[in-house]
Structure 1
Amino acid sequence: MGRFDGRVAVITGAARGIGFGVATRFAEEGASVAIIDLDEAAAAEAAAKLPLAEGAKSVGIGANVAKAEDTEAAVARVVEELGGLHILMNNAGITRDNLLFKMTEEDWDLVMGVHLKGHFLMSKAAQAIFVKQKYGKIINVSSTSAEGNRGQANYSAAKMGIQGFTKTLAIELGPYGVNVNAIAPGFIATEMTDQTAARLGLDVDEFRKLSAEANPVRRVGEPADIAAAAAFLASDEASYITGQTLYVDGGATVA
């Protein structure tokens, strides 16, 4: 028996990286899983790779989380094809890093749209189901960059906004059996952080080594580290935890 037998989980931005790591963990623990990604072909391919338990199903869905019609259609499709909805992880994200004087209005709007508006629209679509059934788990993805990071005024603002959004939804939805929490990853070895290394002109291995040396546990994080935290927060073991942001960063923010 898995923790999520009979549950349906949705993870946005899950065709790769952290999202796919979380989707894999949920599938391993018995959930039926919907992977939502801007690239539907990539989402379908990722969904087909999940290690599903007997009787569980998966689906890959293409959607732009910054568009209400896409999020509403995606959630409706999940319910129709997988038979319900119990867990939502808002993971979709992008970076458009630059110093303030170089950052364009488009850079700002794109990051705010995917992160803040995406979290808002997906949560709004899911909560209608959660409130009706008096049960639901929402996990939002913030970042240690919420504390401020050079060249990431847009990303940092969005990620700190997600923490306030999380607290507010916890207050509003708690009476209806819905827990809302956030995870703030530190450095996680993914394609996105590899792209950051390239932007900084650093070798990937060198970049990871420097990042590992910057935290007390002296290693970089892996998608499985975030997946472990998400699996706990999505479980009934965490039913008395809501409105919290869990930093999963090897101690980087307390060092």
Structure 2
Amino acid sequence: MKGFLNLLAKARLIELSDEERALAEAGSPAATGGTPTPATAGNASDLPPPAASRPADPDDPLALPPLAPPPVATADTGQATDDFEGVALTDIFAAAGVADSPYPAEKLLRLLAGLRAMDAATRKAAVLAMDAADDNWQIADSVSDAEQKIAALEAYKHQLTAQIDNRALQTGELVNQIKTALDQSTAAIRKQISELEQLLEREVTRAAQETTSVEAGLRQAREAAARETRRLDAEIERLREIPATFKAA
């Protein structure tokens, strides 16, 4: 499961948490100080030789060709999830080329928030009075700044939508590659299962034939031994006539 999560993280389909990332690093061969050893116990001489070193015996199930690894999907999934949110507004405005304003829209918004207790007409009149009393800024500056920033944010929204559409397209291609690889692996595995079942059937038939042949050989040997025993018994009886006749005299 950790390996599967690592693959998804490398494909930028998910983001690993700090704990999962630490577990993945701790479980890697480099972190454990060497290459992983096989889990099977016993003497290496007891294991079957690799398929490449065995003769190509069609009746040997171990001689079947190994499955080809599924193709690895390499489609770029675009930005990571974190890149789609939390972008600083100042970065968006700077990328859109919004110039600094003598009286930024955010400053005017704070001023309006401080006058929220007033009704809309009184609040507007108060702001206009402040504008008339201070020659360092104008309402028009804030209006222009707000319009430029609205345009920048709208453009960024369209860009974000385009990126999501592109990522959706790439993700669809990646999913199709994964499904194709699964179909190919499934077909290859089922083919091997069919070949192994046929192999098993041939082995069962051959074992039955060999058993019948061996048992027939034993039966023939017993019959031959019985005939030979009868022949020897007859000869013994024939020879006993001599001791029985002359030994007593």
On whether the aligned pair clears a TM of 0.5, the verdict is no
Q: TM-score by structure 1 length?
A: 0.19
Larger Rg: 2
The structure with higher relative contact order (CA 8 Å, sep 6+) is: 2
Question: Of Structure 1 and Structure 2, which has the larger fraction of its residues in helix?
Answer: 2
Question: Of Structure 1 and Structure 2, which has the larger fraction of its residues in strand?
Answer: 1
Q: TM-score by structure 2 length?
A: 0.19
